[in-house]
Structures are given as structure tokens and as C-alpha cells.
Amino acid sequence: MASATYRLFAEALRAQQQIVCVYGGRAREICPVILGHTDGQEVALTYQFGGQSNSRLPPGGEWRCLLLAKVSEATLRDGPWIVGSGHSQPQGCVKEVDLDANPQSPYRPKRPLKRR
């Protein structure tokens, strides 16, 4: 059964809503793009566009792989869907993809993305 955090990330992905949360002891502002599992753990490929980071967050944001078990205080927030300008390499964060914001996903998501 999926965790409450996983369900919230799935809701955000379907509705294209932002998430504010704490990860690694730092406040983050993110948009989830791919959701699923890696080695039995719930994970999400996200685009972090605001908040704090252990490393310097470039202007405009950066791709982040989050272990959902380490996410706390996650809430949905209205605002623009921010996912950067794309990436040139295939993602390696989520091995078993359940949901992907990309309608032409090359990862064969297990569940179709039904937008709300």
C-alpha cells in the first residue's frame, strides 16, 4: 500500500500542483514529474525551483531525486507547473515508473496519468 506521501505526490502530479516540503532538513519547493519505485523504495523525480538545498540551487531550479520516506511536512500548493527546460540524459531515479507527467513517456508507466 502506498504511503500518504506517495499519494500526495501522485495527486500533485495529476493536478500539476506544486509541493512544499522538508527534505534533508531543508524546505523545498518542487513539482513532481515521475513517481514510482527503486529497489523497493518510493521515489520521485522532481524539479526543485525554490527553497533551500544542500548544494547551491541554480537560478531557475534543478532536477532532484527524492526518497519519499525522507520527505516530511509535504503539502500541495497552487502555482505554475515548473519543470525546467528538459534534460538531455534518460532519468535513472525511478526504476519502476508508476506515473509520468510526460504524455509520451518512454518509461511505460504502470498507470495512465489522468489529469484532474
* pTM for this prediction: 0.88
Mean pLDDT across the stretch 80-109? 79
Q: What does the alpha-carbon distance between residue 22 and residue 29 come to, in Å, rounded to a whole number?
A: 9
For residue 105, tell me if it sits in a domain. Answer: no
Are the beta carbons of 18 and 77 closer than 8 angstroms? yes
Phi and psi, residue 105, nearest 5°: -55, 130
Phi and psi, residue 6, nearest 5°: -60, -45
Q: Into how many domains does the chain fold?
A: 1
Span 35-94, pLDDT tens digits: 999 999 999 999 999 999 888 889 889 999 999 999 999 999 999 999 876 655 678 899
Span 15-29, pLDDT tens digits: 999 999 999 999 999
For residue 54, tell me if it sits in a domain. Answer: yes
Q: What is the pLDDT of residue 56?
A: 86
Q: What does the alpha-carbon distance between residue 19 and residue 30 come to, in Å, rounded to a whole number?
A: 5
User: Range of 8's domain?
Assistant: 4-100
For residue 110, tell me if it sits in a domain. Answer: no
Q: What cell does 9 get?
A: 505526490
